[in-house]
Structure 1
Amino acid sequence: MSYVRPAEFVGKMIDAGESKALMSTRDTVLRAFMAGAILALAAAFAVTVTVQTGNALVGALLFPVGFCMLYLLGFDLLTGVFTLVPLAWLDKRPGVGPGAMLRNWGLVFLGNFGGALTVAVMMAVVLTFGFSMDPNEVGQRLGEIGTDRTVGYADHGAAGMLTLFVRGVLCNWMVSTGVVAAMMSTSVSGKVIAMWMPILVFFYMGFEHSVVNMFLFPSGLMLGGDFSIGDYLIWNEIPTVVGNLVGGLTFVGLTLYATHARTGAPRRGKVMTDPEDVPAPAKVGA
């Protein structure tokens, strides 16, 4: 069977967190750069499909292709290390402390941003023929997304900021579930299917992903969006990063760690660790 049981894949989560925390600076930044670039291309693809078909569900159904590719290639997103690296610290893995964790987060953030920004510039060139003409319909939509999801929140004040934060929480609840889902199977097809489902949910629901936004908002600024860099940072990126951290760590990392790596004491009596351990009913007349 290609299915990996929870107690086993939670162990893999802790091992992965340790590996990422102790990775060299060069490899950490390079893998993060490629993850940001691939996810940005997937976002551009999804927006293009949505504009051309007029159906947001089609774009959402296809967006996970980028997420699956980057994780199968071993690249890292900020949303993923938010969930995995703290588990290695909690598990007291040698060399993994607050400093190593914050170092990893900072390097992955910079790498993701560099990759996403690179693709944003490339797509702006493609959509405007090297800035020689007005953006096409896809480019105009990218500009509108940037405006709607910065100034649109600011128009609601504190309620808008709360909504933005909660969307960030919900996003990484789903995205980190996708990260973990890749560990639930030993086959490529199993990993892809498991990852696809939660990523589809996050994208279609319009939740806020800090790395996707590293592409959408720089693109929007270059393509005529009516907002500023300050709007982007204050009314999207910073609250989204905080929400992503809370969502992934609270609802995925700590929850799985608490119930599968540090399980509570069992009640008295025989403990059935798996449904397969339940004895079959006796045959009549036996």
Structure 2
Amino acid sequence: MDFVKPGDMVNAMADSGATRSRLSVQDLLIRGMVAGGLLGIATSLAVTGAVQTGVAFAGSIVFPVGFVMIVCLGLELSTGNFAILGVSSLAGRNGWGATWRNWGWSFFGNLVGSLIFALLLAVALTNAWSTPPAGVAQRIVEIAQAKTTGYAAFGAAGLVTVFVKAMLCNWMVCMGVTMSMMSTSTFGKIFGAWLPIFIFFGQGFEHAVVNMFVIPAGMLMGAKVTVGDWWLWNQIPVTLGNLVGGLVFVALPWFATFRPTAAPRPAPREMAASPAE
């Protein structure tokens, strides 16, 4: 059986967090940029599926492909790292300073990668701004406006709403991170990661890295949204909500109930080398 017991799974999360806390800035930026781009690609695929089929639910089914690629390739997604490094820091595997360093640089890498793909997709969908947005492009414009000025119309209530949606979103995203470690097989990891991501996207929750792509892409194609609208009514409250959701709903409960050990366990390569030594 390739099933990993919950206690071992949480220890694996702590191991992963300790390793990620020691990554160089260069590695964090490169892996973060690729992760941001892949999530942007998955988002555009989901929008395409919804537009072509006329069924919004279709987009939810295909969107998790981006997250699966990120998990399987060991890339840096800041929102998932909120739980992974949260667990490792609570377990004493690494200091909180190293954790915030990872969160900051991976967030910046995600942002750069998302913006690059947003620009490239805007060029592709508008023939380099030679044609007005239509179909998928028009839908992205509508989404960008709904995620910013749509909340602004409700004032403080809009900020509370977007914050809560972000908390719920990263509960599921970090569950996806956790469940990707519930199996030692590739298929098990893919299936485990797929389920929670399908849930968050299908319910329209708010994800910071998805919004790093979809809102700028909409702005590039004519959405009536300013940079201030983007950050005030979405990116800042969503990032904070994702952070709180990852820590409160996943990292803290996992640490409290499964109690990962404080001392890092030997890496498999080191364990294999011991008899020879």
TM-score normalized with structure 2 length:
0.92
One of 240, 258, 263 as aligned partner of 2:238: 240
One-letter amino acid matched to 2:41? L
Distance (whole Å) between structure 2 residues aligned to residue 55 and residue 67 of structure 1: 21
One-letter amino acid matched to 1:226? K
Distance (whole Å) between structure 2 residues aligned to residue 92 and residue 202 of structure 1: 30
Superimposed CA distance per residue, residues 11-38 of structure 1 (whole angstroms, 9 cap, x where no aligned partner)? 0011111111111111111111111100
The percentage of counterpart residues that share the same residue type is 47
Structure 1 residue runs of 5 or longer lacking an equivalent are 264-286
Return the offset for 1:262: 6.1
Return the offset for 1:86: 2.2
Return the offset for 1:129: 0.7
Could you say which residue in structure 1 is the equivalent of 2:247? 249
One-letter amino acid matched to 1:20? R
Could you say which residue in structure 1 is the equivalent of 2:14? 14
Superimposed CA distance per residue, residues 225-256 of structure 1 (whole angstroms, 9 cap, x where no aligned partner)? 11111000000000000000011111111111
Could you say which residue in structure 2 is the equivalent of 1:83? 83
Trace 1:42-57 onto structure 2 (pairs within 5 A).
42-57=42-57
Distance (whole Å) between structure 1 residues aligned to residue 5 and residue 18 of structure 2: 20
Structure 2 residue runs of 5 or longer lacking an equivalent are 262-277
- Could you say if the C-alpha distance between residues 102 and 168 of structure 1 is closer, same or farther in structure 2, counting changes exceeding 3 Å? same
Could you say which residue in structure 1 is the equivalent of 2:162? 164
Distance (whole Å) between structure 2 residues aligned to residue 207 and residue 197 of structure 1: 15
Could you say which residue in structure 2 is the equivalent of 1:126? 124
Q: Does the 8 A contact of 2:50 with 2:59 survive in 1? A: yes
Q: How many residues align?
A: 261
Could you say which residue in structure 1 is the equivalent of 2:203? 205
Trace 1:11-160 onto structure 2 (pairs within 5 A).
11-93=11-93, 96-160=94-158
Superimposed CA distance per residue, residues 42-62 of structure 1 (whole angstroms, 9 cap, x where no aligned partner)? 000100111111101111001
Return the offset for 1:89: 1.8
One-letter amino acid matched to 2:153? D
Distance (whole Å) between structure 1 residues aligned to residue 70 and residue 84 of structure 2: 16
One-letter amino acid matched to 2:152? A
Superimposed CA distance per residue, residues 78-105 of structure 1 (whole angstroms, 9 cap, x where no aligned partner)? 1111111122222222xx2222111111
RMSD, matched Cα: 1.1
Which entry has the higher C-alpha Rg, 1 or 2? 1
Distance (whole Å) between structure 1 residues aligned to residue 67 and residue 77 of structure 2: 9
Distance (whole Å) between structure 1 residues aligned to residue 108 and residue 249 of structure 2: 25
Q: Matched residue of 1:52: which SS? A: helix
